[in-house]
Amino acid sequence: MRWFHRFGSLPYFYRVSGPLAWWFAVPGLLMAGYGIFAGLALVPPDYQQGDAFRIIYIHVPSAWLSLFGYTAMAVAGFVTLVWRLKLAEIFIVAAAPVGASFTFLALVTGSIWGKPMWGTWWVWDARLTSELILLFLYLGVLALHSAIESPRTAARACALLSLVGVINVPIIHYSVDWWNTLHQGSTVNLLGHSHMETNMLVPLLLGALGFTFIFGWLTLWGMRVQLLWRERRSRWVGRILEADDRHVTHRS
């Protein structure tokens, strides 16, 4: 609990989040890079879809991050509304553009994959439609934060939208089971049998893990920027800026 309260300290978080971000960035870029390269160049073609299936190595990690990011925002929203922890507020604002980017990438790659499989770029399929709604929810959080002047009031509004919108996450996940859709069922099942050969599955899992690390890296840097902006009038931020000015002056 002492560590938890220390990590909730804004100056302490800013001090440790810089080095921590690189611990996310380096392995994330390496794993994601290998996963994409192996998926596009090394694994054999699918026996039904041929080479068209290779986009799965970008599409699936992006779709996973779209759900993971919004779920994490909902958890942070609960913490914001119950304990009013500033770091939770900042996390929601920092994670929203990253999650929206992965959601947009999932929709684009899904459309590219759907063209040779379905003969069209887009259908109002349950999975695709609910994923599009998720993108609008991400954009709604960003719009709320920009529209409300008070940071604390904006944070509570974003937290509430994150909590309300999280109901869409299980709808996206189970849509292929609940409705008769064109979208194929789950390919990867961590708790059971996966419908992929091991040499195809391993790069996909590594890529998904790498994308997750990248999500953490980008979100941490976004939190640092938001933190400096929100606390720009505090003494500890002033000391950081003074130290940076002295460092630039010394180098020049």
pLDDT digits (tens, 9 = 90+) for 81-119: 998 889 999 999 999 999 999 999 999 999 999 899 888
Contact 144, 154 (CB under 8 A): yes
Query: What's residue 187's pLDDT?
Result: 66
**pTM for this entry:** 0.91
Query: What's residue 171's pLDDT?
Result: 95
Give residue 177's identity as a one-letter amino acid code: D
Query: What's residue 251's pLDDT?
Result: 64
Query: What's residue 250's pLDDT?
Result: 59
Query: What's residue 49's pLDDT?
Result: 87
Query: What's residue 145's pLDDT?
Result: 95
Query: What's residue 117's pLDDT?
Result: 86
Query: What's residue 73's pLDDT?
Result: 98
Query: What's residue 4's pLDDT?
Result: 57
Query: What's residue 7's pLDDT?
Result: 60
**Helical spans, DSSP H, in the chain:** 2-7, 10-37, 56-83, 86-118, 126-147, 151-165, 168-178, 198-230, 235-251
**Ranges in the chain, pLDDT < 70:** 1-7, 180, 182-195, 244-252
**Residues contacting residue 252 through CB under 8 Å, at least 6 positions apart:** none
Residue 199 tokens, joined: 């040499």
Query: What's residue 57's pLDDT?
Result: 96
Query: What's residue 31's pLDDT?
Result: 98
- Beta-bridge mates of residue 46: 50
C-alpha to C-alpha distance for 16 and 174, rounded to whole angstroms: 38
Query: What's residue 68's pLDDT?
Result: 97
Contact 162, 70 (CB under 8 A): yes
